[in-house]
Amino acid sequence: MSAAASQAQTPANALAPWIAAQVQRLLSQRGHAWLLAGPSGLGQYELALALASAWLCDHPTPQGACGVCASCHAIDVHAHADLCVLMPETVLLDMGWPLGEKAQSDIDSKKRKPSKEIRVEAMRDAVEFAQRTSARGHGKAVLVFPAERMNVFTANALLKTLEEPAGDVKFALASDAAHLLLPTIRSRCLSHTMVWPDPSSALHWLAAQGVPAPQARVLLRASGGRPADALMMAPVSERWSQLPNAVQRGDVSVFKDWTPTQTVDALHKICHDLLAVRAGAQPRFFELVDLPQGGSWASLTAWAKSLSETRRTVEHPFNAGLMQEALVSQAQLALNLQP
| Sequence spans of domains, the chain | 12-193, 241-335
Residue 84: strand pairing partners: 142
Q: What percent of the chain has pLDDT over 70?
A: 95
Quick one: which of 248, 291, 256, 252 has its CA closest to 272? 291
Higher pLDDT, 313 or 29: 29
State pLDDT tens for residues 231-267: 988 888 888 999 999 999 999 999 988 888 889 999 9
Q: Which helix (H) or strand (E) holds 174?
A: strand 169-175
Res. 333 pLDDT band, cuts 50 70 90:
very high
> Around Cβ 155, how many Cβ atoms within 10 Å?
20
pLDDT at 167: 75
Instruction: Supply the mean pLDDT for the chain.
Output: 90
State pLDDT tens for residues 276-300: 999 999 999 999 999 998 889 999 9
Reply yes or no on whether the pLDDT at 161 is more than 90. no
pLDDT at 43: 93
pLDDT at 74: 96
* Domain 12-193 of CATH type 3.40.50.300: yes
pLDDT at 6: 42
Reply yes or no on whether the pLDDT at 67 is more than 50. yes
Listed in order, strand segments (DSSP E) in the chain are: 33-37, 83-86, 140-144, 169-175, 190-193
State the Cα–Cα distance between residues 74 and 339, nearest whole angstrom.
60
Res. 312 pLDDT band, cuts 50 70 90:
confident
pLDDT at 317: 61
Reply yes or no on whether the pLDDT at 51 is more than 50. yes
Res. 9 pLDDT band, cuts 50 70 90:
very low
State the Cα–Cα distance between residues 223 and 230, nearest whole angstrom.
5
pLDDT at 164: 80
Q: Give the residue-averaged pLDDT of 52-64.
A: 95
Quick one: which of 170, 213, 214 has its CA closest to 188? 170
- CB distance 114 to 89 below 8 Å: yes
List, in order, residues 6 or more apart from 235 with CB less than 8 Å away: 1, 257
Res. 4 pLDDT band, cuts 50 70 90:
very low
- The pTM (predicted TM-score) of the whole model is 0.86
**Which residue type sits at 99?**
L
- CB distance 139 to 55 below 8 Å: yes
Q: What Rg, from alpha-carbon coordinates, does the chain have?
A: 22
Reply yes or no on whether the pLDDT at 53 is more than 80. yes
Q: What percent of the chain has pLDDT over 90?
A: 71
Res. 184 pLDDT band, cuts 50 70 90:
very high
